[in-house]
């Protein structure tokens, strides 16, 4: 009996202690919650004031949606609100067919910036480039617009023309007239270049893995003596995570491809390859550049870490975050696109902001090599002010000695980065591949120092 009572008393004391702890927690939690309620009241007051005193009538729905989008975009460049119309358009895009110009864009300090044009689309054919700023659509400024609103300005009926005003480094603003089309980008294509195959993957939509496998199988059947494969992921803006996993799986016999980790350190989801390499061990080299982003970086990182392929080109974009699309009321109220995790390559490295560094750095042109020497001209995830920090505290490589670039005698009609990738296949490894002399380019720091040295000291003023 005594034993029973002692147990009961102990349980009561433990329970009381727990209640006290919970009570303290509730008080602590109530304080920031009270502040939240106060700020929500402030929001209501501001909305009411705008409704009553703004110079013209306002649309409450549009104001509130803009407020929601502003809240989300303040978190990082890839979070945002999609209204019902934009949510439907996003689903069309991931299915691999939609109307528009064929460009991946983002917003940087209220300015619309091109991440990458998609292969074979009106924008790519018109010469739009990664890093371009779009300042106006049909002579109407898009400065200050959200990505969703800018997209609405550019999309329309197929066959109609739209004029984009482009601002580009080292160039005066200019107009580009583009005719809208129903965009049906073929995400994967393959061709032979001498004794090597080149598999080009331009984006990652719902069809990419199947298209990549079909393109390679057809190419291999026509060219059974193929000696190696170049996987071209340049200017690939990314897309669906499952398709990045699927494409990586095509080249791996098993093991980890990528993991994603959320706020809770225990919240880790791993994606592994199944047995079966579609190339049967054929040598592979991956080509990337600063326009290689997101899902494309997952593929490059997986094949590099698993020693399945070496990487040639330039450091990739550095988008190492995962966005989850959360429908609201089944999509009737649109959806939230929210950053919920970082992803990690098989070796456990986060490439957020830093990107995938190539095993052999190769610039496409001599001008691009000079750009590498000047940090101010580089466009990447790290250039966004509110970009999610790299989890490991690493920093993206800055201005440095320029990469290999086409020699003076190189045929300008050929693709130098693909040519160097094929050299790696030919010699077996990057280490065994003869290196070319680096072009004569000056680092940005040296240029700035020389300018300072050229300024003659002023004559001291007589006081």
Given a cut of 60, is residue 192 above it in pLDDT?
A: yes
* Percentage of the chain exceeding pLDDT 70: 84
C-beta atoms surrounding 423 within 10 Å:
18
pTM flag (> 0.85): no
Spacing of C-alpha 418 from chain mean position: 22
Reported in sequence order, the residue ranges of 267-327 that DSSP labels E, i.e. its strands, are 268-273, 284-288, 309-313, 321-327
**305 among known catalytic residues:** yes
Catalytic residue among 232, 319, 359, 423: 319
Residue keyed to tokens 């007589």: 462
Summarised one tens digit per residue, pLDDT across range 269-303 is: 999 999 999 999 999 999 999 999 999 999 999 99
> For the chain, what is the mean pLDDT?
84
Catalytic residue among 83, 119, 249, 305: 305
Catalytic residue among 79, 146, 294, 380: 294
Are the CB atoms for 425 and 230 separated by under 8 Å?
A: yes
Predicted pLDDT at 16: 34
* Nearest residue to 421 via CA among 404, 398, 399: 404
Predicted pLDDT at 457: 37
Are the CB atoms for 399 and 374 separated by under 8 Å?
A: yes
Summarised one tens digit per residue, pLDDT across range 209-257 is: 999 999 999 999 999 999 999 999 999 989 899 999 999 999 999 999 9
Domains located in the chain, CATH noted: 188-446 (3.90.226.10)
* Nearest residue to 100 via CA among 86, 83, 79, 84: 86
Total length of the chain? 463
Judged by DSSP in three states, 456 sits in coil
Given a cut of 60, is residue 454 above it in pLDDT?
A: no
Residue keyed to tokens 């009381």: 16
Residue keyed to tokens 């790299």: 390
Summarised one tens digit per residue, pLDDT across range 79-99 is: 999 998 888 877 766 665 566
**116 among known catalytic residues:** no
Q: Quote the CA–CA distance of 78 and 338 in Å, as a whole number.
A: 7
């Amino acid at each position: 009996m005594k034993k029973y009572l002692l147990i009961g008393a102990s349980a009561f004391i433990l329970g009381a202690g727990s209640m006290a702890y919970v009570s303290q927690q509730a008080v602590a939690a109530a304080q920031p919650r009270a502040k939240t309620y106060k700020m929500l009241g402030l929001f209501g007051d501001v909305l009411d004031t705008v409704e009553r005193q703004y110079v013209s009538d306002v649309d409450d729905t549009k104001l509130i949606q803009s407020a929601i989008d502003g809240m989300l975009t303040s978190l990082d460049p890839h979070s945002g609100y999609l209204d019902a119309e934009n949510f439907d358009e996003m689903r069309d895009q991931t299915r691999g067919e939609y109307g528009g110009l064929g460009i991946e864009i983002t917003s940087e300090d209220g300015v619309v910036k091109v991440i990458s044009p998609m292969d074979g689309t009106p924008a790519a054919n018109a010469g739009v480039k990664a890093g371009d700023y779009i300042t106006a659509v049909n002579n109407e400024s898009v400065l200050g617009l959200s990505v969703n609103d800018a997209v609405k300005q550019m999309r329309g009926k197929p066959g109609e023309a739209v004029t984009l005003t482009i601002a580009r480094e080292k160039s005066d603003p200019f107009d580009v007239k583009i005719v809208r089309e129903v965009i049906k980008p073929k995400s994967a294509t393959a061709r032979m270049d001498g004794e090597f195959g080149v598999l080009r993957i331009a984006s990652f939509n719902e069809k990419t893995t199947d298209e990549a496998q079909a393109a390679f199988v057809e190419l291999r059947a026509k060219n059974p003596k193929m000696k190696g494969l170049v996987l071209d992921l340049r200017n690939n803006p990314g897309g669906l995570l499952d398709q990045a996993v699927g494409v990586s799986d095509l080249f791996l016999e098993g093991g980890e491809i990528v993991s994603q980790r959320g706020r809770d350190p225990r919240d880790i989801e791993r994606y592994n390859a199944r047995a079966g390499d579609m190339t049967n061990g054929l040598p592979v080299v991956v080509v990337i550049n600063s326009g290689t982003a997101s899902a494309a970086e997952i593929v490059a990182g997986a094949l590099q870490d698993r020693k399945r392929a070496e990487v040639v080109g330039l450091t990739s974009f550095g988008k190492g975050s995962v966005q989850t699309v959360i429908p609201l009321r089944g999509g009737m109220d649109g959806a939230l696109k929210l950053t919920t995790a970082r992803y990690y390559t098989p070796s456990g490295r986060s490439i957020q902001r830093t990107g995938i560094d190539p095993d052999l750095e190769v610039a496409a042109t001599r001008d691009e090599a000079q750009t590498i020497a000047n940090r101010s001209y580089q466009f990447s995830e790290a250039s966004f002010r509110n970009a999610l920090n790299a989890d490991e505290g690493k920093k993206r490589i800055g201005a440095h000695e320029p990469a290999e670039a086409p020699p003076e005698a190189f045929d300008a009609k050929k693709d130098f980065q693909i040519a160097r990738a094929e050299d790696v296949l030919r010699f077996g490894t990057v280490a065994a591949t003869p290196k070319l002399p680096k072009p004569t380019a000056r680092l940005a720091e040296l240029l700035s120092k020389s300018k300072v040295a050229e300024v003659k000291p002023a004559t001291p003023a007589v006081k």
